[in-house]
A and B are shown apart, each in its own frame.
Chain A
Amino acid sequence: MDVAIAQRPVRLDRRYLPVVGTLVVLGLMLTVGGTRYDNFLSPAVLSNLLINNAHLLVLAVGMTFVILTGGIDLSVGAVLALSSVVTASLLQAGWPAAVVLPLAVLVGSVIGLAMGVMVHVFGVQPFVATLAGMFFARGLCFLIAPESIPIRDEAFVSLASLSLYSGPWRVTAGVLVALVVVALAWWVLHLTQLGRTVYAIGGSEQSALLMGLHVARTKVLVYVISGTCAGIAGLQFAMFSRSGYALTGVAMELDAIAAVVIGGTLLTGGTGFVLGSALGVLVLGLIQTIITFEGTLSSWWTKIVIGVLLLVFVVLQRALSLRKT
């Protein structure tokens, strides 16, 4: 009893340590950017940071659920493209936006459900099942429309160009959606039975099963959640680009996974926070912003910097987990 009490504060610290690390990096980047460049910390730049990464934020939220159970979802980039292509082509065919929007999200949920069933019922490895999902969604995109479709539907365009101003700060519909998704995910993960089950499965599936938790239902459900998030992100991307194109979101699943890892979630599952993933997305977005501000650096430095940052975080996490055992 005494030992448990004595250890408690230390253990809590450790759990939050990766997220604190992400926060420190974010703070450092903001400080460095703010001192190096004029206008870096202006509301316009920071608003754009959210606007440009709203879809990635939603993808990372879905990915967090899957990774927390110890799985992985490689299909999100392709499902995002599929959702945006479905939206654009149905709107072009004259369907009302009120029908198209839920339908596009539903496409993501259905693909997620199929992958979840493959993973849980048929025992296919998450990597392979979602890889198949990725190829399936990408192929379907090209089957529907090989070239980019512009969106001209009035209701959709007015929704896409909706901007709320609060002084110099600007928020679009896409950002609002992303914030709602993050808040919902936080609520589900930390305050509901489903969320506890997700963490329990990631900790040890066997134990979760023996505890009588709904392992089967939850394992399928996390892929449905991720697919749904990818569907929503597809809508956001369609609003952002006002078009649907089969080649959008190539390798975006890697950005989402990188954001989740940088946000302090372990790929083995069981530990991590959705707010950490959100911070991870902001870090990735800030790298892009800084490289744009620097001007002389070529775009490929983004990839190298993300790689280095991933390395630092992974080695840091490894050192932390080694010290624990």
Chain B
Amino acid sequence: MSARVGTVVKHHLFWPLAALVALLVACTIKRPAFLRVSVLDDHLFGAPIDILRNSAPLLLVALGMTLVIATRGIDLSVGAVVAIAGAVALTFIASSPDPDSLGTVVGAIFVALGLCLVLGVWNGFLVSVLGIQPIIATLILMTAGRGIAMLITGGMITTVNSPPFKTLGSGFWLGLPVAALVAYGVFVVVAVVVRRTALGMLLEAVGINPAASRLSGVRARTLVWTVYAASGLFAGLAGLIFASNTMAADANNAGLFIELDAILAVVIGGTALSGGKFNLSGTLAGVLVITTLSLTVTVLGVSPLVTPLFKALVVIAVTLLQSPALRARLRRRRPGSPAPRVEQPAENPAQEVHA
């Protein structure tokens, strides 16, 4: 039984979910009706729904980031891509003769996503063809990207008024926020594609040993190229949701630090930055922890400016708890763990069964 408790604690989702539950409990203590969901104006309403909707952009970005990290890479440019997507879409809508028409909005979305795909392909080209380290290859676009977004908006914050575009960020469908439906829909599709086909395993193979996977016939270059393209595309989608939420393209602040939040979400979810094994469920848990954390800070009445401090504490706690070094150290100090169990059988574990 103690072994079973051990496996639960050791499961990669245990600590992120524990953090999530702790945050929700803290909120509920402060505000008892926190978890209540009610129906208002034909759609669901309440803090859990807010968490779902607010988590949409981060989930999309973190999804792409997980795939990139699985191949031993990293994509620092996603924040800049978010800004570019918003800038392109809103500039397109603002300059069209009929901003209210569905056709314009669909066109804007296609143009923006197309450009973001190209940016992702560019990152993939630098990493997979030229063989530049992912961190610098994407640093280039991270630095230049916001400049490009400024170039597109002409240095101003472009605002538009287009009801169809607004639906993407703040609309509801079947009582649920459209943004959340889009993000979670993409997440499920990608999870199914990656886990129900060999794709996920191939990505892990590339991450664990690129040379060996190439020698055994995995097309490492194409796979790596694809994940960066996907990361760019998902970041673009996240950028559209951001822009639609505020109906403004702010080249300086849209998606600022989202790459860091996404990397945190991936790390909290138990995927190592060194590549290889990845778990999308962990990333989802990490995204929910980070989104809930921002809400918790507001609910607890702390200035939202101090949020980074709490983020740091959560990251430090979760990464230290997941660190093999700390686990090994704790195991050595604690009697009744694997090694000594052979010598003193069944005494302690038996008590735990009844407890």
Contacts and interface: CB of A to CB of B under 8 A. Distances in A.
A133 B312 contact: yes
Given A128-B263, A267-B136, A304-B144, A123 B155 contact: no
Contacts of B182: none
Contacts of B25: none
Nearest to B313: A136
A127 B313 CA distance: 16
Main secondary structure of the interface of B (DSSP, over half): helix
Interface string B328-347: 00000000000000000000
Contacts of A157: none
Contact of A146 (B130, B142, B147, B305): B305
A91 B143 CA distance: 35
B261 to A, nearest CB: 10
A124 B144 contact: no
A300 B146 contact: yes
A133 B325 CA distance: 20
A315 B132 contact: yes
Interface stretch (A15-23, A218-226, A230-238, A254-262): A254-262
Interface string B170-209: 0000000000000000000000000000000000000000
Interface in A138-180: 138-140, 142-143, 146
A118 interface: yes
A129 B320 CA distance: 10
A280 B312 CA distance: 31
Interface string B301-313: 0010111111111
A127 B130 contact: no
A304 B136 CA distance: 15
Contacts of A318: 130-132
B300 interface: no
Contacts of B272: 125
7 contacts: A118-B320, A127-B135, A132-B315, A142-B305, A267-B135, A303-B143, A307-B145
Interface of B: 74, 130-133, 135-137, 139-148, 150-151, 155, 251, 260, 263-264, 267, 272-274, 303, 305-313, 315-316, 319-320, 323-326
Interface of A: 72, 74, 118, 121-125, 127-129, 131-136, 138-140, 142-143, 146, 246, 254, 257-258, 261, 267-268, 298, 300-304, 306-308, 310-311, 314-315, 318, 322
Given A128-B273, A132-B319, A258-B139, 12 more contacts: A125-B272, A128-B319, A132-B315, A134-B260, A138-B308, A146-B305, A268-B133, A301-B147, A303-B150, A304-B144, A310-B139, A315-B130
